[in-house]
Amino acid sequence: MPKEYSNLLNLAHTPITAAIDEHELAVAITSPPFIPLASALNLRDIGSLERSTVRPALCYRSGTLHKMKPDDLAFLRDVCQIHTIFDLRVEKERLRDPSPEVTGVTTVWVPPEVPPQQIDPADFVANDGLDGFMKIYGDVLRVQGAIFKLVFEFIRDNPRRPFLFHCTAGKDRTGVLAALLFNLTDCPVHVIAEDYMLTRLGTERDRELLIKNLKAWLGENAYDQPGVLQLGSVNMKTMEEFNKSLNLQYGDGKRNGARGWLQGELDFSPEEVDQIVKNISVEIIPKALVEIPSSKLDFEF
């Protein structure tokens, strides 16, 4: 493992209650797999992750885009060639923070067919929060089926056409979809978990805003309530456990969970899933991502 990538992962283990050094953060989020656009939130290419099995410069994940500046949005369109964005948020989130309108870019959204369950911090008290996360990530599969199906249909029908998917912070709903993409391409589980961990770095510049939203939901003493710290955490064990659960429920116990879910829950045929896998699987291990102009590397903290 390259030293730079190892340093990235070590920094990602910083507790959510602690601020990350600004210089260290700037170095981290201007390094692959991050796309270093100053107004972006948690934006990265899952194919440029070290040892990723997903094709590079194809599948991009992020948090909400509503704060992105026009030049950065144009960069996504013109340099990254992203012309399709899948919004995984619910309607009230979209009304609060509308998706930006960009010429030549289509934002795809459909309302969930079923409402999501209410999140209860108490579910995260025991077992390092794993029980709570398995509950809400299972709910993501249940609630997001319609929009996830559109994503996989897009991949099936548009080989090598880049796209971006996002929720609000780019952690849970986005993390589940990223995990499905990785699982489909038989990615090692520790690599999937590393991708998940990087959200700790990707959201750091908006950490105060996320804390503010948390306090608006649970009150000023939010962090004193049982389970809240675990709920806000980004733990590799969480994604490892989700992949284990996915493979046990829909696969052969060790792999093929995403394939089984696509066929059993989204009604894709085996041949369609084969095409999806072919379209997103890496051919060679990438050494670099899209070249970023040096002017994009000037961050303001």
Pairing of strands 44-45, 59-62: antiparallel
Q: What tens-digit pLDDT sequence spans the chain (301 residues)?
A: 677 788 899 999 998 888 999 999 999 999 999 999 999 999 999 999 999 999 999 999 999 999 999 999 999 999 999 999 999 999 999 999 999 999 999 999 999 989 999 888 999 999 989 999 999 999 999 999 999 999 999 999 999 999 999 999 999 999 999 999 999 999 999 999 999 999 999 999 987 777 777 777 777 877 778 888 888 889 999 999 999 999 999 999 999 999 999 999 999 999 999 999 999 999 754 444 455 554 454 545 4
Domain ranges of the chain: 3-281+293-297
Could you read off the pLDDT of 264-276 as tens digits, one per residue?
A: 999 999 999 999 9
Determine the pLDDT at residue 290.
Answer: 53
Q: How far apart are CA 29 and CA 5, in angstroms?
A: 11
Instruction: List b or e across 198-213, with b for residues whose CB sees 16 or more CB atoms inside 10 angstroms.
Output: bbbbbbbbbbeebeee
Degrees (nearest 5) of the Cα angle 209, 210, 216? Answer: 90
Tokens of 68: 């992105």
Could you read off the pLDDT of 214-248 as tens digits, one per residue?
A: 777 777 877 778 888 888 889 999 999 999 999 99
Determine the pLDDT at residue 292.
Answer: 54
Q: Domain 3-281+293-297, what architecture? A: Alpha-Beta Complex (3.90)
Determine the pLDDT at residue 297.
Answer: 47
Q: How far lies 153's CA from each of 166, 219, 268, in Å?
A: 17, 41, 9
- For residue 119, how far is the Cα from the chain centroid? 19
Instruction: Map tokens 């997001």 to a residue.
Output: 144
